């Protein structure tokens, strides 16, 4: 009996063989490159590797040194400031622009292109452009001074206390266009009837947006949040192009610390420790939240 | 059988591989890309091509900080160039330890490098476990103060002869709208400036104890406190520089927008290029006019281990060419650096270079920071100094505390 059914029920492993074979390269990439690389980095962050990786473990020394380093603390603070403001502003500005764009205005396509255009530029180009705009000798300051207001001072990139906001301006200029487009797509996905119903009930427009439309756009907001958040953690090129971390170390960010210590200081262990901390931060904040958000919906 | 015939056959077998070794292409990487530097490299290429081989230039733009990671990743990644520039010292230390660099002890013995290279410390920093792994090429020193004579004339004060007079003259310069001391924003510049202050104000012994022996007690001591006080002065004097690159800062001195700059002797090339004359348009004070001591930093060439026999042979030819008396003169005159051989004639050198040669001949030298501290320590110092110079809320005492912390853990 058993011998009779076996050819009829092929092994589970060979079901859908074609698609399984096709996904092997991607699975290998994910496991070997991403997971393998991550584990390798974490393991070597406990060693005293200098220029070349070597397995001589020193426990938590690299982490102790990391958290004793003023530059690391500064870069974490910068990331926090930059992250909070970037999240708040790009969401608000992006949503406002999208809402305005949704008022059946003329030339919508033109405006959309204009707002989205900065996103087509790389961070390096954006950084250089804003470096010039914010330069006190050629940029905004000199233009306004030449208009007659000679005491006007606006040099965020040369002032340690506010330099991170100079970078924030450039990042918002580059990023809000994309947020606007995502939001606009979300707004377009809302049924016309809901608007009509709200109008019949006499609900003012701002209230409709705030209490009806926005809650309905939750999935769009989540997607946008993930995109913005991942952009915040990996910020590097914009800082390099605009200030290269200066003045002094005032605009440093974690990714730049990692790069500098791995390649300039020839201290791989320290760089790995810093990048592991970055990974940990991402894991602590994003993973449980994303799990609730995406994993939860599938079940419910 | 005729002995002569055998000798001829033997000679032929020896000559054949030699003939094949000629006309070998060698890729040489370096970060010399400014006008004067490129001219100097051309001299090296000319001399090497004259040996029948071919110099393939692999210049990497963007200064050593950008170039070194590229070079290192090529060597560790299994795609080595035939020869590469590094600064004297510990930059290639681990590559040597990992056995990736070629040992030149035999050639060095044959050509007697230990007799011609001076100061001897240069060859010592090429040596690892008794074997020689690099060829020193030139000597650059950090300990120079470049002053604009015009700027001081405009401010109505005499050109200072030492650091203290310079600090005293700063208010007059400021009143005339001149930045007293130009310090570029790149971190290595303020870090180099600090090491110059250590040698000049603290003295040779203090410098050696702190940077060489990593003596945390001396680093926390009153002599270093004086150095930090001077750095604090320098920080005040540098306010308003607002440029990044060293040559832009040098240009401020050349045009009289700044009173002076503390920078290595490579700045001299900029003055020459601008047609300025030493003593007339600008003044150079080695050791800030306080302690006439110079450090022996500079460039050396390292040769990665190659599999190709012909290229390995040609590496030797390149190594001898670099130390050749003629090459040394031709290269260093264009580069503005000092030769590593004491027995060559530099009659064409300008006044500032001659001052340097004199100090070198007297033996008033210190080992450069590149030779004493690792890149890791260097980076930590850069972080500290660039923050100190950019942010006036950090006091000299605080900075010294952090300085001590760095050296107490330095290897």
pLDDT tens figures, B206-245: 999 999 999 999 999 999 999 999 999 999 999 888 888 8
Q: Which chain B residues are Cβ-neighbours of A162 within 8 angstroms?
A: none
Q: Which chain A residues are Cβ-neighbours of B390 within 8 angstroms?
A: 160, 246-250
> Exposure string (b/e) for A221-249, b if CB count within 10 Å is 16 or more?
beebbeebbebbbebbbbbbbbbbbbbbb
Q: Is A159 on the interface with B (CB under 8 A)?
A: no
Residues 45-74 of A with CB under 8 A from B: 50-52, 65, 68-71, 74
CA distance A14 to B150: 86
Domain pair B24-140+297-353 / B144-295+373-409, same fold: yes
Of A52, A69, A250, the CB nearest to B94: A52
Residue A228 distance to chain B (closest CA, Å): 29
Asked if the Cβ–Cβ distance from B379 to A263 is below 8 Å, we say no
Give the mean pLDDT per block of 10 residues along chain A (300 residues). Answer: 52 80 89 90 91 86 91 93 94 92 87 89 91 86 87 85 92 92 91 90 89 89 87 89 86 92 88 92 77 61
Of A69, A246, A265, the CB nearest to B375: A265
Which stretch of A189-198, A237-246, B28-37, B340-349 has the lowest confidence by average pLDDT?
A: B340-349
Q: What ipTM did this prediction achieve?
A: 0.76
Question: What residues form DSSP beta bridges with B179?
Answer: B258
Asked if the Cβ–Cβ distance from B244 to A244 is below 8 Å, we say yes
First-to-last CA distance in chain A?
42
Tell the CATH topology of B144-295+373-409. Answer: D-Maltodextrin-Binding Protein; domain 2 (3.40.190)
Q: What is the pLDDT of residue B8?
A: 53
Quick one: how far is CA B336 from the chain centroid? Answer: 11
Q: What is the pLDDT of residue B18?
A: 44
For residue A105, count CB atoms less than 10 angstroms from its CB and return exposed for 0-12, middle for 13-18, buried for 19 or more: exposed
CA distance B233 to B201: 13
Of A51, A137, A260, the CB nearest to B379: A260
pLDDT tens figures, B127-180: 888 899 999 998 888 999 999 999 999 999 999 999 999 999 999 999 999 999
Of B72, B242, B390, the CB nearest to A248: B390
CB B28 within 8 A of CB B55: yes
Q: Is B63 on the interface with A (CB under 8 A)?
A: no
Using DSSP, state whether A93 is helix, strand or coil. helix
CATH code linked to domain B24-140+297-353:
3.40.190.10
| Whether the predicted pLDDT of B93 surpasses 80 | yes
CA distance B113 to B127: 12
CB B387 within 8 A of CB B235: no
Asked if the Cβ–Cβ distance from A249 to B94 is below 8 Å, we say no
Mean of the per-residue pLDDT values of chain B:
86
Residues 91-150 of B with CB under 8 A from A: 91, 93-95, 98
User: Mutate which of A159, A249, A261 to disrupt the B interface (most B C-beta within 10 Å)?
Assistant: A249
CB atoms within 10 A of CB B174: 17
Asked if the Cβ–Cβ distance from B383 to A158 is below 8 Å, we say no
Q: What percent of chain B has pLDDT over 90?
A: 39
CB B26 within 8 A of CB B311: yes
Phi, psi of B278 (to 5 degrees): -65, 135
Q: Is B7 on the interface with A (CB under 8 A)?
A: no
Structural domains for chain A: 65-299 (1.10.3720.10)
Q: Which chain B residues are Cβ-neighbours of A134 within 8 angstroms?
A: none
Average pLDDT of the segment spanning B55-70: 84
User: Mutate which of B91, B184, B370, B375 to disrupt the A interface (most A C-beta within 10 Å)?
Assistant: B375
Domain residue ranges of chain B, discontinuous segments joined by +: 24-140+297-353, 144-295+373-409
Q: Is B295 on the interface with A (CB under 8 A)?
A: no
CA distance B177 to B172: 9
Of A65, A136, A264, the CB nearest to B379: A264
Q: Is B350 on the interface with A (CB under 8 A)?
A: no
| Whether the predicted pLDDT of B300 surpasses 80 | yes
Of B95, B379, B386, the CB nearest to A261: B379
CA distance B353 to B336: 7
Q: What is the pLDDT of residue B19?
A: 42
Asked if the Cβ–Cβ distance from B390 to A249 is below 8 Å, we say yes
Which stretch of B47-56, B249-258, B286-295, B341-350 has the lowest confidence by average pLDDT?
A: B341-350
Residue B389 distance to chain A (closest CA, Å): 7
Q: Is B65 on the interface with A (CB under 8 A)?
A: yes
CA distance B158 to A44: 58
């Amino acid at each position: 009996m058993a011998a009779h059914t076996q050819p009829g029920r092929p092994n589970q492993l060979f079901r859908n063989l074609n698609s399984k074979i096709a996904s092997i390269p991607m699975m290998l990439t994910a496991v070997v490159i991403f997971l393998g690389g991550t584990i390798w980095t974490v393991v070597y962050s406990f060693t005293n590797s200098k220029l070349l990786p070597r397995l001589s473990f020193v426990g938590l020394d690299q982490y102790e040194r990391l958290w004793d380093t003023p530059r690391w603390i500064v870069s974490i603070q910068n990331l926090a400031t930059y992250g909070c403001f970037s999240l708040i502003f790009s969401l608000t500005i992006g949503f406002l622009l999208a809402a305005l764009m949704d008022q059946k205005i003329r030339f919508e396509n033109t405006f959309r292109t204009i707002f989205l255009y900065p996103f087509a530029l790389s961070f390096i180009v954006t950084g250089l452009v804003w470096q010039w705009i914010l330069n006190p000798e050629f940029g905004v300051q000199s233009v306004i001074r030449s208009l007659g207001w000679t005491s006007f001072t606006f040099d965020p990139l040369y002032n340690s206390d506010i330099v991170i906001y100079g970078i924030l301006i450039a990042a918002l200029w580059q990023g809000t266009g994309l947020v606007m487009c995502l939001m606009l797509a979300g707004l377009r996905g809302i049924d016309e009837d809901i608007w009509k119903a709200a109008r019949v009930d006499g609900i003012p427009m701002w209230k409709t947006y705030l209490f009806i439309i926005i809650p309905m756009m939750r999935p769009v907001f989540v997607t946008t949040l993930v995109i913005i958040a991942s952009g915040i953690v990996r910020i590097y090129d914009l800082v390099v192009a605009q200030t290269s971390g200066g003045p002094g170390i005032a605009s440093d960010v974690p990714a730049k610390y990692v790069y500098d210590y791995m390649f300039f200081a020839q201290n791989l262990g320290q760089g790995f420790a810093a990048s592991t901390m970055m990974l940990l931060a991402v894991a602590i904040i994003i993973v449980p939240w994303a799990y609730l958000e995406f994993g939860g919906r599938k079940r419910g | 059988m005729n002995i002569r015939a055998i000798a001829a056959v033997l000679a032929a077998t020896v000559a054949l591989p030699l003939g094949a070794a000629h006309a070998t292409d060698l890729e040489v990487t370096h970060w010399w890309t400014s006008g004067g530097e490129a001219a100097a490299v051309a001299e090296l290429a000319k001399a090497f091509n004259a040996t029948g081989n071919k110099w393939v230039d692999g210049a990497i733009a963007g200064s050593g900080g950008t170039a070194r990671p590229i070079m290192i990743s090529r060597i560790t990644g299994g795609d080595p160039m035939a020869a590469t520039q590094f600064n004297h010292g510990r930059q290639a230390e681990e590559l040597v330890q990992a056995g990736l660099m070629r040992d030149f002890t035999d050639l060095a013995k044959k050509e007697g490098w230990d007799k011609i290279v001076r100061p001897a410390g240069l060859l010592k920093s090429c040596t690892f476990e008794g074997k020689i792994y690099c060829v020193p090429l030139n000597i650059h020193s950090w300990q120079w103060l470049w002053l604009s004579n015009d700027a001081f004339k405009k401010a109505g004060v005499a050109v200072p002869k030492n650091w203290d007079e310079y600090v005293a003259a700063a208010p007059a310069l400021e009143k005339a709208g001149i930045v007293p001391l130009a310090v570029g924003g790149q971190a290595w510049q303020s870090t180099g400036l600090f090491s110059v202050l250590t040698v000049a104000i603290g003295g040779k012994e203090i410098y050696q104890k702190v940077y060489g022996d990593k003596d945390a007690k001396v680093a926390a001591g009153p002599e270093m406190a004086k150095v930090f006080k001077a750095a604090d002065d320098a920080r005040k004097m540098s306010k308003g520089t607002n440029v990044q690159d060293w040559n832009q800062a040098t240009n401020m001195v050349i045009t009289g927008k700044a009173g002076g700059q503390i920078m290595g002797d490579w700045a001299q090339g900029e003055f020459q290029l601008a047609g300025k004359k030493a003593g007339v348009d600008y003044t150079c004070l080695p050791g800030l006019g306080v302690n006439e001591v110079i450090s022996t930093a500079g460039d050396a060439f390292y040769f990665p281990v190659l599999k190709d026999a012909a290229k390995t042979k040609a590496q030797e030819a390149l190594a001898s060419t670099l130390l050749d008396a003629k090459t040394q003169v031709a290269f260093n005159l264009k580069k503005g650096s000092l030769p590593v051989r004491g027995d060559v004639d530099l009659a064409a050198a300008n006044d500032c270079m001659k001052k340097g040669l004199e100090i070198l001949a007297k033996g008033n030298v210190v080992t450069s920071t590149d030779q004493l501290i690792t890149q890791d320590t260097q980076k930590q110092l850069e972080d500290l100094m660039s923050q100190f110079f950019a942010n006036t809320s950090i006091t000299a005492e605080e900075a010294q505390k952090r300085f001590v912390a760095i050296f107490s853990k330095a290897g």
